[in-house]
Amino acid sequence: MASVSSQPQFRYTQPPSKVLHLRNLPWECTEEELIELGKPFGKVVNTKCNVGANRNQAFIEFADLNQAIAMISYYASSSEPAQVRGKTVYLQYSNRQEIVNNKTTADVAGNVLLVTIEGQDARLVSIDVLHLVFSAFGFVHKITTFEKTAGFQALVQFSDAETATSAKSALDGRIIPRYLLSENISPCTLRITYSAHTDLSVKFQSHRSRDYTNPYLPVAPSAIDGSGQFSLGLDGKKLEPESNVLLASIENMQYAVTLDVLHMVFSAFGPVQKIAMFDKNGGLQALIQYPDIQTAVLAKDTLEGHCIYDGGFCKLHLSYSRHTDLSIKVNNDRSRDYTIPNPAMVNPQPSTLGQQPVQAMGGPAAHQYNGTPYAPGLQPPTMPPQPSDGWTSTVPAVAQQSMPVQMSNHHPYIPPSSMPQTNPGMMRMPGQGGVPPAAAGGAMPPYRSNQM
């Protein structure tokens, strides 16, 4: 019954069309190259490249049929085949009369990215992890997440299309760095296109959506627990508004925790601007101010629950402060403003200590993204690659990264008499088995540039 009425798919000759079908193009051939190729024969009014499963086919549409005929005729009799980048390109009339929908929204650069998280455990990737990943390229305004047939997706809003583009080109097709995810989560690949959105609508801060431009946006009722505290999202992350200022409380303080100790510990993640220590509820607390939220987030996530000294001594508990800029009246042993050079201080810890990482992160280098998104100071340098490495061996590693000179002069942060023996238990990641050695050592760029 099946009448074989369809035309043979490949005929030796096609009826003329002002649209030409090109094949055997080099990988990721550009629109510009197609225009170059067709220009000698007439006006190219439209193109479509990267067509087909291998993305090596394309279409060129001329303004006039005669121009298409001229091109076909020329190469039909030419001894030199049509070429792009030295590769022979095969031409024929297309079986359509015009190129339709040359550009999809996914091709038009915009400030909002549509991110599809692929992988078995894609749904377990928290909005905070996404925020951290995308913040490497610039300020992330808003994120919304949702489930579609395509799977777990997110819209990530940047200030402008340029920033979005830098994030897209660096992250598309890459996996989320393993050390940002729990170790039992299987690899998650990011697929990124542009979204047609320009401004996302976020009504509440929740485990599904965030507006980082408005930290005081109400938290979704569903995300608040009975105690009135910020509750947990599906990922178990707190929905407490992030801040560039951390509140540290120190539990079981058997050893003196000085300003210098705190400065050393927290400088591992970026420049510490100010520290203020005070007593509260019979314990020691401190406010630590970073220049930006993302540094504070990383410091908090990395240090929370860890002990400054081995044996469970001086255990850190971190939360975000509501402060954004501490007011340091006087530099003394309890409070210090590291942004103000103070010649009177014996140990001012010049601000060069932390500024290098910040420049590396905030400057143009961040857009390059040829390595880790977290500048030197933002890697988890305090995390020993192996549990057998302790505080004493870790600190010099930090020093080498950020302050090669200063560290050789004084070690104010190690109380010699109180410094416990180096021990396997110190400063390792609780419950996560620590940062993978490659990540901790900085040897493994989470994303590698694929530009060649």
Partner DNA sequence: AGCACA
Least distance to DNA, CB of residue 71, Å? 14
Strand order in the sheet with 274-280: 307-309, 313-320, 245-251, 283-289, 274-280, 335-337
Residue closer to DNA by CB (options 18, 131) is 18
Beta-ladder partners of 133 = none
Strand order in the sheet with 112-118: 189-194, 112-118, 151-158, 140-148, 209-211
Residue closer to DNA by CB (options 77, 281) is 77
**Hunting for tokens 């961040």 — which residue is that?**
366
Closest CA to 161 of 189, 197, 128: 197
Least distance to DNA, CB of residue 114, Å? 12
Strand 90-93 with 87-88, pairing: unpaired
Residue closer to DNA by CB (options 20, 250) is 20
CA gap 271, 289 in Å, rounded: 9
Least distance to DNA, CB of residue 141, Å? 24
Closest CA to 247 of 218, 275, 281: 275
CA gap 18, 69 in Å, rounded: 8
Least distance to DNA, CB of residue 293, Å? 35
Residue closer to DNA by CB (options 98, 183) is 98
Residue closer to DNA by CB (options 109, 365) is 109
Least distance to DNA, CB of residue 149, Å? 11
Residue closer to DNA by CB (options 52, 218) is 52
Provide the binding-site residues for DNA, judged by CB under 7 A: 9-11, 14, 19, 21, 23-24, 48, 51-52, 54, 56-57, 59, 90, 92-96, 98-102, 104-106
Residue closer to DNA by CB (options 96, 322) is 96
Give 117-180 as a 3 state SS string: EECCCHHHCCHHHHHHHHHCCCCEEEEEEEEECCEEEEEEEECCHHHHHHHHHHHCCCECCHHH
Say how many residues make up the chain.
452
Residue closer to DNA by CB (options 95, 450) is 95
Could you give the dihedral angle defined by the CA atoms of residues 311, 313, 319 and 321, in that order, rounded to the nearest 10 degrees?
Answer: -160
Least distance to DNA, CB of residue 24, Å? 4
Least distance to DNA, CB of residue 54, Å? 6
Residue closer to DNA by CB (options 7, 421) is 7
Least distance to DNA, CB of residue 137, Å? 25
Least distance to DNA, CB of residue 99, Å? 4
Burial 244-282 (b: 16+ CB within 10 A, else e): bbbbbbbeeeebebebbbbbbbbbbbbbbbbbbbeeeee
On whether the CB atoms of residues 284 and 250 are closer than 8 A, the answer is yes
Helices (H) and strands (E) in the chain, counts: 11, 17
